[in-house]
């Protein structure tokens, strides 16, 4: 494998290159893994460097680095008899060395003779760069030689010494050598620190290509490795060989064997006490003070203090807070724990549990962790439950979920304890992202025969709420919640919560009056029970119910005050629900305000369901408002995120966006595939039970797709079931997206049916506040007027519809209305100019949005009326092809497939498909075959 690029070392590399000019003494310092050897290797690419290494041995060879550096060097001729003393050290050069001198009278004299001989040899070598690496392991003879050599440094020698400051013996202050060199010797002290997250982003982008690397990936890698290049490179190499479906760099990456052994070797060179203290810190895995480390490690306080000092000096422990210490990196702590024998591992966790349990205000989450690994199972369960309750009280629902899922894995958990934990789990999961696992645990707990009716009802209500809110199983949720209200007859406060959940209308086929009755029962029950929490929850659902049916009273209901954790959670839930309704109704400014409020009271780390739902609603808002730049990429990125895999309402809306964008971009096959995946297969019962507005959006897209092929019968069939469902529920504000399918009745000779539905829609919208549905009604009324030949009324109604869409704003719909206005003009006498002008306006709007499918349709209409329709670029953009579009168009003109082009240019087939569609639209071409004859698509200039 090729060496990765050197990043974050440009300044030090330049310094080293400039410093390696004799006479010079260069000190290159850095902790283990900072890349000293790699930087020195860069110097060797431009300069001959004699390099020797100090081996990490307890009994090192005398003068080992000098022997290694000189043994393959061509020796000069004419050496004095003194250099004969080097024969025992350099037997490879015995033929080039003088005869050995007489034996020295004492060992000290022998050392002095050798030092003098080496100094002479270095003088005689001429201009030389000598590098001695890992000086912290230098043997005593090498240290003495350097002390002897420094004041006699040859004028043609550049001496480079690399070392780890944290491991350098205090008896050998290397920096002091610079005070002894001859006059005129240049001194350089270069220190290598950790890489920055930006440096690691550059490194990871190179090593993991073509996988995209985010700034968050780089920060995770920096946290994991402490920014040390060597661990980072080994981690990235492993990730490149074994890519995952999640983030490019996970929070806890796997540790490849070479890296594991490198750290383990580093740890085994520690003294016993320092190793014990470091293991204790790794097991605690939190900043700990000296007393806690002493108790857990089993070291006496004085020995622990000395070990702590050594660990700090070696950079193994860092000060995390005043008077506390923690392992320098999560990677180091991970390897320490992994290397612990099983018995030692359990003993350390037991010691940690005992020490923490005696602290005031015991940290139950940490105690649960230590009790589990110590084998203290009852204590594990107790601490997990107390920690989860505390987390829920603070609004930290994700923390509670993690603790409870962990505690419920205990195999011998008593039935009563399993019930308590599962019930708390269901409460926490409402804002979490672990739906499938939680649903399974709830069903498992409900199957226990010893439960009372009320206990089973509480579990069933939790199950129903999860099915309703996160699993997109509205009918199943309704059944569970109805049964729960009966099982909770002796707990009216809980039954009222199930009732107000049944009042939420958009996930079941029940008529609106049924939802209204559930809502009134819940309100009446809450009025009899003085429970602020119950009142708060029912108030949220009351506002949600009214907003989803378009009742303007919804916006007048006071929302819960966020002065408690329950208030904050309910406030965030209310704002999310109201924002969802506002997007559906067409109140986009109102949606903005509620989304901002939801974000304020729902931190992403603790309420991920609310956070992810709000993020998706923002994307839906971008679609409606025509803010499409980067929207497809953001949608794809979210859809592939593992954290959303089981959030079916969120993934449904993202899939809708993916389909809508594909259709607007002319990728009709892809749009149909996405919509089919969303709808499921009704033949085998796999059709998801999505919310009615989601189903309506999908049906409307399918209707537009069918109508574009003049299959108006199929267009109506796509929306017929949804029209019947909306009519059956009596909630006509959900019909806005179904109008394209209702319009398809006109070409099929069923104008009376369309007129009847229009009248029902008009009646159903009375008293509602739903701009999107009212604009759609105007559109349908205009289409009916045009069909019966009343052009003036049609133009008036279309004009009002366009004004409404532009006011929301919904520019894509407004452009469609402008196209419809053009059609009215072009089908009547004497108004062709107005019609062509309207077509040009619609074309410009479609092009600004990037709606290439619609723009191509308008160009065909213009050509049909004898008007050339040149490709129109988006506002502020180039009217020709972009360089990438030109390159891809030229390759397509050669007959290459999208997949072949993608492989050649290192792009995704989807990106190539988009560029080809854009090129066809800009060049006013209808197929790839026409590209070959077009003068603007010559041979592609590309590089592999």
> Concatenated DSSP letters for 24-56?
EEEEEEE-TTS-HHHHHHHHHTTS-EEEEE---
Nearest to 779 by CA among 794, 792, 760: 794
The predicted-structure confidence for 362-390, as pLDDT tens digits, reads as follows 899 999 999 999 999 999 999 999 998 88
Going by their DSSP bridges, the two strands 157-163 and 324-327 should be labelled as unpaired
Please answer whether residues 30 and 192 qualify as being in contact, where contact means their C-beta atoms are separated by less than 8 angstroms: yes
Domains 9-192 and 883-932 share a fold: no
Query: In the prediction, which pLDDT does 871 show?
Result: 44
Beta strands in 684-793 (DSSP E): none
Query: In the prediction, which pLDDT does 941 show?
Result: 37
* Secondary structure of 767-829 in HEC code, one letter for each residue: CCCCHHHHHHHHHHHHHHHHHCCCHHHHHHHHHHHHHHHHHCCCHHHHHHHHHHHHHHHHCCC
Q: Is 37 exposed, middle or buried (0-12, 13-18, 19+ CB in 10 A)?
A: middle
Neighbours of 246 (CB within 10 A): 12
CA distance 136 to 613: 56
Neighbours of 543 (CB within 10 A): 24
CATH number given to 255-340: 1.10.10.10
Q: Dihedrals φ, ψ of 789, to 5°? A: 90, 10
Going by their DSSP bridges, the two strands 24-30 and 186-192 should be labelled as parallel
For the domain 9-192, what is the CATH superfamily, name and number?
A: P-loop containing nucleotide triphosphate hydrolases (3.40.50.300)
CA distance 236 to 248: 9
How far the first Cα of the chain sits from its last, in Å, is 19
CA distance 597 to 577: 12
State in words which class domain 883-932 has: mainly alpha
Degrees, nearest 5: CA angle 17-18-23: 110
Indicate the domain borders of the chain.
9-192, 197-254, 255-340, 361-447, 452-529, 883-932
Angstrom distances, CA of residue 652 to CA of 100, 507, 695, 718? 87, 13, 9, 18
Nearest to 701 by CA among 742, 737, 744: 737
Query: In the prediction, which pLDDT does 687 show?
Result: 56
Q: Which residues pair with 473 in a beta bridge?
A: 689
Query: In the prediction, which pLDDT does 50 show?
Result: 94
Tell me the average confidence (pLDDT) per consecutive run of 10 residues in the chain, 944 residues long: 80 92 94 91 86 84 92 90 94 91 91 94 92 94 94 94 90 90 94 94 92 92 94 94 86 93 91 95 93 95 95 90 89 94 94 91 91 93 90 76 87 87 82 73 87 91 84 81 92 91 82 94 90 88 94 93 82 92 95 91 71 89 93 85 68 90 89 82 55 90 92 94 93 95 94 96 96 97 95 94 95 96 84 86 91 89 79 42 73 77 69 79 71 55 34
CATH number given to 361-447: 1.25.40
Element (H, E) at 337: helix 330-338
Please answer whether residues 401 and 429 qualify as being in contact, where contact means their C-beta atoms are separated by less than 8 angstroms: yes
Please answer whether residues 777 and 758 qualify as being in contact, where contact means their C-beta atoms are separated by less than 8 angstroms: yes
Please list, in sequence order, all residues whose beta carbon lies within 8 angstroms of the beta carbon of residue 651, skipping any fewer than 6 positions away. Answer: 639, 644, 645
Cα 570 from chain centroid? 27
Query: In the prediction, which pLDDT does 738 show?
Result: 95
- State the chain's mean pLDDT as an integer: 88
Tokens matching residue 27: 């000190």
Please answer whether residues 781 and 758 qualify as being in contact, where contact means their C-beta atoms are separated by less than 8 angstroms: yes
Query: In the prediction, which pLDDT does 301 show?
Result: 95
Please answer whether residues 435 and 471 qualify as being in contact, where contact means their C-beta atoms are separated by less than 8 angstroms: yes
Q: Which residues pair with 157 in a beta bridge?
A: 128
Q: Phi/psi class of residue 375: alpha, beta or left (left: φ > 0; alpha: ψ in -120 to 50)?
A: left
Query: In the prediction, which pLDDT does 821 show?
Result: 94
Query: In the prediction, which pLDDT does 476 show?
Result: 86
Omega into 23 within 30° of 0, i.e. cis? yes
Q: Is 841 exposed, middle or buried (0-12, 13-18, 19+ CB in 10 A)?
A: middle
Please answer whether residues 53 and 65 qualify as being in contact, where contact means their C-beta atoms are separated by less than 8 angstroms: yes
């Amino acid at each position: 494998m090729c060496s990765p690029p050197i990043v974050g070392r440009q300044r030090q590399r330049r310094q080293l290159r400039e410093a390696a000019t004799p006479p010079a003494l260069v000190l290159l310092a850095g902790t283990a893994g900072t890349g000293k050897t790699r930087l020195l290797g860069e110097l060797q690419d431009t300069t001959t460097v004699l390099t020797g290494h100090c081996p990490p041995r307890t009994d090192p060879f005398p003068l080992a680095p000098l022997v290694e550096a000189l043994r393959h060097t061509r020796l000069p001729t004419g050496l004095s008899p003194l250099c004969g003393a080097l024969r025992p050290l350099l037997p490879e050069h015995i033929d080039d060395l003088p005869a050995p001198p007489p034996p020295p009278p004492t060992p000290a004299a022998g050392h002095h003779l050798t030092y003098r001989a080496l100094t002479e040899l270095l003088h005689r070598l001429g201009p030389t760069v000598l590098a001695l690496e890992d000086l912290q392991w230098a043997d005593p003879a090498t240290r003495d030689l350097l002390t002897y050599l420094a004041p006699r440094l040859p004028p043609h020698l550049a001496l480079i010494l690399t070392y780890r400051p944290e491991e350098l013996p205090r008896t050998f202050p290397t920096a002091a050598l610079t005070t002894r060199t001859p006059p005129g010797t240049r001194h350089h002290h270069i220190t290598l620190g950790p890489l920055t997250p930006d440096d690691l982003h550059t490194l990871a982008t190179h090593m993991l290509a073509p996988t995209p690397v985010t700034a968050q990936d780089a920060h995770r890698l920096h946290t994991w490795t402490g920014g040390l290049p060597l661990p980072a490179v080994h981690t990235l190499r492993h990730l490149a060989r074994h890519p995952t479906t999640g983030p490019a760099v996970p929070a806890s990456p796997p540790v490849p064997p070479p890296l594991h052994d490198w750290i383990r070797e580093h740890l085994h060179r520690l003294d016993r006490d320092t190793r014990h203290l470091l293991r204790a810190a790794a097991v605690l895995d939190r900043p700990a003070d000296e007393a806690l480390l002493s108790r857990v490690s089993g070291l006496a306080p004085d020995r622990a203090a000395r070990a702590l000092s050594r660990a700090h000096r070696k950079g193994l422990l860092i000060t995390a807070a005043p008077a506390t210490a923690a392992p320098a990196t999560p990677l180091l702590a991970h390897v320490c724990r992994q290397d612990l024998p099983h018995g030692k591992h359990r003993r350390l966790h037991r010691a940690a549990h005992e020490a923490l349990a005696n602290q005031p205000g015991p940290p139950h989450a940490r105690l649960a962790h230590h009790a589990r690994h110590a084998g203290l199972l009852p204590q594990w369960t107790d601490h997990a439950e107390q920690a989860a309750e505390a987390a829920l009280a603070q609004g930290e629902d994700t923390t509670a979920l993690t603790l409870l899922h962990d505690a419920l894995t205990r195999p011998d958990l008593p039935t009563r304890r399993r019930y308590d934990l599962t019930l708390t789990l269901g409460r926490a999961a409402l804002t979490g992202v672990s739906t499938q696992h939680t649903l399974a645990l709830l069903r498992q707990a409900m199957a226990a025969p010893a439960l009372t009716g009320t206990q089973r009802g509480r579990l069933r209500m939790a199950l129903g709420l999860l099915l309703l809110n996160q699993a997109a199983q509205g009918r199943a949720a309704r059944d569970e919640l109805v049964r729960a209200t009966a099982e909770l007859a002796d707990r009216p406060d809980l039954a009222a919560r199930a009732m107000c959940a049944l009042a939420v209308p958009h996930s079941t086929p029940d008529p609106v009056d049924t939802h209204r009755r559930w809502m009134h029962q819940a309100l009446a029950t809450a009025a009899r029970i003085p429970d602020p929490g119950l009142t708060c929850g029912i108030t949220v659902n009351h506002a949600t119910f009214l907003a989803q049916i378009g009742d303007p009273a919804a916006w007048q209901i006071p929302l819960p005050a966020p002065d408690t954790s329950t208030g904050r959670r309910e406030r965030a839930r209310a704002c999310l629900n109201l924002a969802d309704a506002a997007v559906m109704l067409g109140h986009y400014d109102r949606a903005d305000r509620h989304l901002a409020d939801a974000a304020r009271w729902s931190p992403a780390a603790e309420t991920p369901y609310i956070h992810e739902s709000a993020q998706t609603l923002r994307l839906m808002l971008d679609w409606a408002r025509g803010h499409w730049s980067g929207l497809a990429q953001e949608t794809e990125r979210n859809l592939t995120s593992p954290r959303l895999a089981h959030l079916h309402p969120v993934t449904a809306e993202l899939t809708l966006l993916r389909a809508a964008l594909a259709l607007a971009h002319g990728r009709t096959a892809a749009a149909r595939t996405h919509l089919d995946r969303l709808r499921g297969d009704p033949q085998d019962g796999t059709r998801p039970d999505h919310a009615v507005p989601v189903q309506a959006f999908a049906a409307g897209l399918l209707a537009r797709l069918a109508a574009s092929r003049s299959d108006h019968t199929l267009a109506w069939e796509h929306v017929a079931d949804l029209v019947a469902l909306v009519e059956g529920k009596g909630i006509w504000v959900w019909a806005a997206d179904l109008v394209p399918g209702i319009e398809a009745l006109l070409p099929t000779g069923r104008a009376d049916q369309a007129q009847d539905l229009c009248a029902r829609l008009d009646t159903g919208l009375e008293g509602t506040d739903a701009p999107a549905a009212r604009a759609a009604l105007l559109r349908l009324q205009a289409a009916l007027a045009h069909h019966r030949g009343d052009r003036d009324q049609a133009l008036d109604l279309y004009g009002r519809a366009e004004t409404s869409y532009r006011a929301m704003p919904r520019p894509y719909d407004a452009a469609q209305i402008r196209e419809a206005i053009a059609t009215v003009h072009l089908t009547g006498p004497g108004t062709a100019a107005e019609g062509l002008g309207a077509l040009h306006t619609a074309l410009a709007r479609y092009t600004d949005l990037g709606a290439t499918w619609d723009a191509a349709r308008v160009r065909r209409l213009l050509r049909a009326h004898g008007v050339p329709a040149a490709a129109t670029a988006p506002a502020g953009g180039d009217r020709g092809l972009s360089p990438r579009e030109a390159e891809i168009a030229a390759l397509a003109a050669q007959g290459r497939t999208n997949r072949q082009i993608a492989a050649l240019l290192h792009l995704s087939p989807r990106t190539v498909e988009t560029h080809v569609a854009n090129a066809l639209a800009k060049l006013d071409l209808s197929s790839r075959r026409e590209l070959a004859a077009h003068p603007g698509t010559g041979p592609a200039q590309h590089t592999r």
